[in-house]
Amino acid sequence: MAATIRDVALKAGVSISTVSRVLNDTCPVADDKRVRVESAAKELGYTPNPVARSLLSSETGGIGIILPFVSGEFFSEFLNGVDQAAQEQDFFLLISTSHHSSEDLKKAMASMYRRVDGLLVMAPHMTTQAVEALAPDGLPFVFVNTEVVSDDAFGVTFDNYGGMYAMTAHLVSKGHRRIAFITGTENAYDARERLRGHLQALKDNGIAPLDELIFKGNYDQRAGFEACNRVLRLEDRPTAVMASNDDSAIGVLSALRQAGLTIPDDMAVTGFDDVQSAQFATPPLSSVHVPVRQLGTAAIDLLVSRLNDVQRAPQMRTLPVELRIRGSSK
């Protein structure tokens, strides 16, 4: 079987996009990487396919969007930003989902091959390099909220770590020392970063993190509800519960009301994302505000600029977040 660009990338220890830039000479690449790629290609006998290259050069006017899910307020707001930016630049969208499965992601990308000019991918359960390894040769990517493990990726994310660090510090400033934390989807990059921010904020404020106060969640209301009920069974009950997103926090609020507790007097609650329903919860939910629509707009702008300038240097942009303190934690 003939060697592929993926084989070259794996042997050289670089991403597919780096191999493409070296072999097509479309963008400056560090000398050591260039040598590794050229040596790997020569050893494997890899030659770029000129037919595939010519097909990829034909513009379709389309952009592919691959998300873990498309349901819920976060993804709805994100797609509003994506759609607005794409329309303003005369691109149509093809949207698919991966459901946190690498196999589904691979199928989604294959279905879009030659139908779009580039891909916008949100894959919090994978790294940028792992996603590129599944992709058709030469298709430009922009990543959203995805773990970056190389210096040649294009993407937009937001400060998951800093946002949860700041929210934890807020609760500590209110006198909370025993704080329960409900995690997000297992192995997801954003969930890991939010937990990391929480733990570091505790340490920096002289509070020892305790495993018994970390509860498994799944970014949805039922998971938040069930996790909160486990929190309430602790003999030494916490005075605050932090959920990794707003949906989970809304489940927490429901569990506390059902238990007859007053929020925030008996238990403070916080979320993350600041979806629209957060401010209308009972009581209004303190949350980390993420500029979700701007996230979508920035991702499309970056992808279009990359399509218009094939020699553009890789860029990762991190959007700031801010606290929105409301009745659930005052």
Structural contact between residues 110 and 136, judged by C-beta atoms closer than 8 angstroms: yes
Q: Write down the pLDDT at residue 52.
A: 47
Question: What domains can be seen in the chain, in order of their start residue?
Answer: 1-48 (1.10.260.40), 160-290 (3.40.50.2300)
- Summarised one tens digit per residue, pLDDT across range 266-317 is 999 999 999 999 999 999 999 999 999 999 999 999 998 888 887 788 899 9
Q: Write down the pLDDT at residue 133.
A: 84
Residue recorded with tokens 């959007």 = 319
Residue recorded with tokens 């937990």 = 195
Report the distance separating Cα 323 and Cα 330, nearest Å.
12
Whether a cis peptide bond, with omega within 30° of 0, leads into 314 is no
Report the distance separating Cα 56 and Cα 24, nearest Å.
13
Both tokens assigned to 136: 């058709």
Query: In the chain, which residues have pLDDT < 50?
Result: 50-57
Q: Write down the pLDDT at residue 1.
A: 61
Report the residue count for the chain. 330
Residue recorded with tokens 């590129």 = 132
Nearby residues of 305 by Cβ (< 8 Å), 6 or more positions away? 312
- Nearest alpha-carbon partner for 237 in 308, 178, 292: 178
